[in-house]
Chains A and B, each alone.
Chain A
Amino acid sequence: MSKKLKNWKEIPIGGLIVEPGNSKEYLTGDWRTFRPVHIPEKCINCMICWVNCPDSSILSKNGNFDKFDYDHCKGCGICANSCPVKAIEMKPEVDFDE
């Protein structure tokens, strides 16, 4: 992930996290080996993926599927697995250029 990491003099000692509510700053997207890809033509906006995603990485807009939060999606594949119309496909990260 692109976030600039701090040096050893800039961070709290002992691994302490000294402010609450900062888990979103921890970008877990680079753990991913498979990336979920949305297929809009198949999607029926049932939002079962949104319900099942353990990392709140399905983002919605007006009650419909919007996009994936790739900064935090770990690529577990639960969304693709639970999709009743197979509108989410898991593709290897190596297939993407960036």
Chain B
Amino acid sequence: MSKTKIDRTPLSGAESVAQAMRQINPEVVAAYPITPQTGIMHAFTAFVNDGDVDTEMIRVESEHSAMSATLGASAAGVRAITATSSNGLALMHEIVYIAASTRLPIVMPVVNRALSGPINIHCDHSDTMAERDSGWVQIYCENNQEAYEMTLLAIRLAEHKDILLPVMVCQDGFITSHGVEGVKLYKDSIVKKFLGKYKPKHPLLDTKNPITIGPLDFYDYYFEHKRQQSEAIHNVRKVFPKLVKEFKKISGKDYGFIESYMMDDAKEAIVVMSSSAGTTKEVVDRLRKEGRKVGMVKIRMFRPFPISEIKEVLKGVDIVAVLDRVESFGAVGGPLFNEIRSSLYDYNNKPKIVNYVFGLGGRSYTPELGRQVFDEISKDKNSKDYEHNLVRYLVVRN
């Protein structure tokens, strides 16, 4: 018998998140099935059935109810989780805003899937990008390991006294959620120690200290509450690095708001999120072998937006291609493009910047397409009229 020690477990992205949820052992999980999120709840409900967790699993009649039940449980004062995709998230929309404004530390893994219509089950970011102004923290994961670890970190982040906001942990539908990789799971006892116990400040079920949640709030105080919310999400900028430092004792990893890859001397760069970052790293490796000074920036946290890191990493770059896995109809380019372009506005020597809308409805982003982007921006670098072709489609048949 071989004595080789294997420290990785073959898991899909969905199963990786379910493992994190098993270790979190939330008091309440409410969910409604939707492809491709179903993989998470498929695995997690097996843990419930087998008695591996103490969770009360609520099988609701819709995603609107799933988010409502999760909100109710969180308001009562316990850890509560739900998960969804695409139109399920769209159906939650009303309560998604209420969860954030009521300052409830709900964690929601989202498996990114294109919004209807026409109906489509595959990956793009139209579902979570539609919630980008909802007041939730948004983390986008590149692979299964990251999805596992970010789900754990999200619990601590959401529950931090200076934040108290819900967190979405996003992964790409099918590409990540159904792709199996070796995932290093940390020991239950170590993870449980890191997570600690949730101690809510104002639980609804504390009958000795009665409170009202969700009362009427008019022109005299509503604005002040929005100002608090804004402060809270920006506090993530201070708290996340501290949590990462603490988690590093377990994971050994330095997770930033962004991840830069070969950016030290890069003159041309792609900015991208989620699984496409992995593909782009491969492209960068190949082009570096050919002597080209290319690099990649992955946006790990989209909300709050890492403006200072972006300004720093893109300094000295000649041209940037921002890849948006969503179309923002009627806008000039996708949401990521607009954030990055706005971040660079104050620079005198700002890089040229173009936008590629790609991968809609699950269309593949291949290393060949990544190379095509680098080849195109390499030519645009010396062009004066690249701005006439600011937003491109990678690739739509003409």
If the complex has contacts A14-B103, A15-B217, A16-B202, are A8 and B227 also in contact, measured as CB distance less than 8 A?
yes
CB <8 Å contact, B220 and A5: yes
CB-defined contacts of B164 to chain A, threshold 8 Å: 13-14
Tell me, yes or no, whether B205 is within 8 Å of chain A by CB. Answer: no
Chain A 35-63, CB-CB to B under 8 Å as 1, else 0, gives: 00000000000000000000000000000
Tell me if A85 is interfacial: C-beta within 8 Å of chain B: no
Pick from A6, A8, A15, A20: contact of B102, CB under 8 Å: A15
* Interface residues in A, total, Cβ within 8 A: 14
How big is chain B's contact interface, by range?
20 to 34
- The residue of chain B having its C-beta at the shortest distance from the C-beta of A1 within the complex is B220
A interface majority secondary structure: loop
Residue numbers in B under 8 Å from A12 (CB-CB): 202
Give the interface SS of chain B, mostly helix, strand, loop or mixed.
Answer: loop
B222 and chain A: residue at smallest CB distance: A15
Residue-wise interface mask of B (209-227) relative to A, using a CB-CB cutoff of 8 A (1 in contact, 0 not): 1111111010011101101
Distance from A85 Cβ to chain B, minimum over Cβ atoms (Å): 36
- CB of B232 closer than 8 Å to a CB of A: yes
Chain A residues whose C-beta falls within 8 Å of the C-beta of B35 in the assembled complex: none
* B9 at interface, CB cutoff 8 A: no
B55 on the A face (CB < 8 A): no
Q: Give the docked Cα–Cα distance between A7 and B220 (Å).
A: 10
Write 18 A-B pairs (CB below 8 A) sorted by A numbering: A6-B224, A7-B224, A8-B225, A8-B231, A11-B225, A12-B202, A13-B164, A13-B232, A14-B102, A14-B103, A14-B213, A15-B101, A15-B102, A15-B213, A15-B214, A15-B225, A16-B103, A19-B211
Q: B-contacting residues of A (Cβ < 8 Å)?
A: 5-8, 11-20
A11-B228, A15-B102, A16-B103 known; 4 new pairs, CB 8 Å cut-off, are A12-B202, A15-B215, A16-B213, A18-B211
Chain B residues at the A interface, C-beta cutoff of 8 Å: 101-104, 164, 202, 209-215, 217, 220-222, 224-225, 227-228, 231-232
